[in-house]
Each structure stands twice: as structure tokens, then as C-alpha cells.
Amino acid sequence: MAVKSPPIRIRPAPVVGLSLVLVSTTALTSPAVADDAQQQVPVPDVEGPIPGAPPGDPGADDIEQTYPFFATDVDLDEYGYVEEEFFISGTANQYEGGEVASEHPYKTRVVVRRPAEQADSNGDVLMEWQNVSAGYDIDALWSPSPDHIMRSGYTWVGVSAQDVGVSQLTEWSPTRYGDLDVTDGGTVENDQLSYDVFSQAAQAVRTNENDVMGGVEVDQVLAIGASQSAGRMTVYYDDILDHIEPVFDGYGYMVGNAPQNTDRPEPVFQVLSETDAARTANPREDSDNFRLWEVAGTAHSGWAGYSARESIENREFDEREEYNCAKPPFSRAPLEQPLNASYDHLSEWASEGTPPPTAERITRTSEGELARDDDGHAQGGIRLSQVEVPTALNTGINSPADADSFFCVLFGSHEPYDEDQLAELYPTKGSYLWQVIRAERQNVRDGYVVRADSKENRREALKSDIGR
């Protein structure tokens, strides 16, 4: 067995912006017809699928002995899914004021997780702008939600659009990624090529260039991004889209910025955790093509994603970053559940024109702070059963206890109730279960939680010792 090369340690990059899919080749279309002033988005050259799968050695000289960085460890076979990696290359524009300033060559990677068979596909691609806040590519929206993505038949595509992620890839496995570059040899700064890279990745999927989708047809491509990636997508929407043909059918901005003027026909969905809502004094009103949900008790980066990535980070780096937070970190309120519902709503909104349900915003005081009850829970907002029927205080608020733990501000907090508190709240098992069931029924009726997630919440409540 090959021995892994010593891991390359990447110091976390600053968090940005925390103010804190395929039509058949015979019927290629875009979401809307571009007018004469809009530039056509070219189809990139595609190479792959690139050989290699874990376990392997990133430092091997033979590419077949390497494997895709952050390859999932989820059991894809259970859902009839496959994971493949491709390289895309071409010419991307550098923009100034939305206008093309210069053209530059690039080469990067996309990771595709898709149904192996057409019959298991729902026709939608969730194309995620990979998040690089940690100093390397993270599939921030896949990692907490693979079960929903696969049971629903989505194809997930991760795009390495930014230099931080691509440069780390070239160091992590020079054999596999050594010739990737999104800076034209360092001549283009500030990820100015990232917007065209993202657009061209969508074109590769829509055209099924080099069989990227393995013959699985796609009806629409939905762009999604979390946190820093949502910020990049906001620039893309505000400054780039007016000048290029549209290649996405809808946009999901998760735990991050979103466009303020959504006057385009494609729907825009923004979902904010309590962490993000606390830094948004005047949340935007809903409109015909914009929807905002705020989810009480949830964190910008919560427990589900952190725990899901543990084994992968240990595999890639032999260890993972440790944090010293002022409060016990990582809210357990499952933000991924409203995110799952939002994907389904965005899909229907883009294809059928059916808008998602509106949601009450988290309550704010006259000073703009989040209003809390006597126990410390945020008031208002979407209220998951884990918040409405609490067995712990879950919030979106935390802070670092030392200078090396800045990311604690993203993790929220989780403080379990002691036995006396639980006994007072839920004297019998039945009283606890009834409250959970009532909260779950309401969230399913309101469209904030899908039935499969609600069923799992009820199962967990039944298995617990609460009320016994």
C-alpha cells in the first residue's frame, strides 16, 4: 500500500463577507435568450474523468495512484451515485466595472456526484461554488446534506473557481493538480477569472461536454454558494450577469450575502443562520423573485458539516484544526434541514414559477439586536423542533477564547440542559414526543422541513431518554 506524503498544513484564510444540470446535446438551451449585447459563454475544454480514487497517495508520481482532494466518504453506492473529477480549461475574462478588460487562459477542476442512471435523476444540477475560507476547497453545502441531495436525485457539482483553493490543490498533489491555474501565471489577482470559470463550468454541464454527466440529462442548473462563496456569487449576479448570457436557472445564497436588487427573471433564495441574522440589522423584504429565510438557533457553520468533514480532513491532513471557544461550540440545530427544503423550493420556483413559502424573520429589538427569551433562545424566525422543543440551548453566537480560534464566531453554541431542567420541561416521554411531533407537523406544513428530515427528527426523539 502506498504511504501518504506528509500533509501540507494550510493556515485558515480570513473569512470573507461576514458582516460579519444538463440539457441533451440535441436541445441545448440557456435559461433565457441572450440579447446581442450579451456575450456568449463558451463551452470549456474538458478532460476526464481523471483516474484515481481513495485510498491513495497525493504525492505519488502516477496519477492513477492519487485521488480527488476531499473525495466524499459517503456511501454513494447506497443511492446509486458515482463521483468523478474533470479538468476544465479555456479562456476567461477579467472584468472592470462589468466590462471585459482582458482575456486569460485558465485550467481548474470540477467534481461531479451524480446518479449513475438516468432513472434516478430529478433533472437538476446543484452547482456549488467551492468555499475556500479555510484555505482549501470545502464542499460546504454537500457535506451536511448528502442524503437529501441523493435521495432527491440531484446532481451535485463542485467548482474550484478561486486561487486559494486551486493553489492548495497544486501543492497537495503536484502530479494530479500541478498544471491547474486560475491566475494566468500570477498576472491576474483577486480571483477576477472566477466568474467566467463558474459560468463555463455550467456550460460544460449543460452541453455534457466530454460526457461530464455520463449521459444523464439535466433540465436546469442551480447555482449555490455558502458564506464567502455566496459573496462571490453576489458580485457575479450584480456586476457580471448583465453582460453575459445567463447559464443558471436559479440562485441559492446560503449563510452569506445576496443581491439587493433582484430584477432578473431567475429566482433568488437566501437562507441565513442565526449567526448571520445577528449581523443583518435590516433584512431585505421578500419579492416576486426573492425569498429570505432566517433560522433561529442555527450557526453559520454548525455541527452537521463539522462532524461530516472530520474523517475527510483527517485523511487529507492527518489531523484537523482545534478551536478554543468561549462557549461550547457548534449549534446542533440542523440548519441543513431548511437548506434541503430550499433546494426543492428553488427547483420548483425555477421550473414551474411556484414561489417558496415566506417565513417570519428572527425578532429584533429597537436597537437592532436579536430578541431572546428568558432562556436565551432567539425569538421568531423558522423554529425547528430542536429549538421549539429544546433539550439544549442552541444559538448562533460564540466568540474565540484565544487569538488562534477566530472561526469560533461562526460555530454558534450548544449547552445541553441538565437532568433537572429536562425533567421539569418534559415530565413524561409522551409530553416530550407530542411537542416534537406538533413542531414537526407545523414545519412540514409550512414547507420549512422536508418529510424525510422530519421523520428522522421524530425517530431521534423516540430513541432519546427524554421524559423517562
- Note the pLDDT tens digit of each residue in 194-226: 999 999 999 999 998 889 999 999 999 999 999
Residue where the block lists cell 472584468: 95
Where is average pLDDT lowest: 35-49, 75-89, 393-407, 431-445? 35-49
The arithmetic mean of pLDDT across residues 357-362, rounded, is 98
| Mean pLDDT, range 392-408, rounded to an integer | 95
Phi and psi at residue 309, to the nearest 5°: -90, -5
Q: What's the rounded Cα separation, in Å, for the pair 152 and 136?
A: 28
Helix 451-463 to helix 429-446 angle (10° resolution) is 170
For residue 37, what pLDDT band results from cuts at 50, 70 and 90?
A: low
Strand partners, 253: 225, 270
Say if residue 157's pLDDT is above 90. Answer: yes
Is the dihedral angle over the CA atoms 196, 200, 206, 207 positive or is it negative?
positive
Determine the Cα–Cα distance for residues 427 and 375; give it in Å rounded to an integer: 19
Q: What would the mean pLDDT of 10-19 be, rounded to a whole number?
A: 35
Residue 19: its pLDDT value, please?
36
The answer to whether 334 and 445 have CB atoms below 8 angstroms apart is no
Cell numbers for 101: 478588460
Cβ atoms 175, 61 nearer than 8 A: yes
d(CA 153, CA 269): 20
pLDDT tens by residue, 310-338: 999 999 998 888 899 999 999 999 999 99
Q: What are the residue ranges of helices labelled H in 238-362?
A: 274-277, 303-308, 310-317, 336-352
Neighbours of 11 (CB within 10 A): 8
Which pLDDT belongs to residue 119?
A: 97
26's CB contacts (< 8 A; 6+ apart) are: none
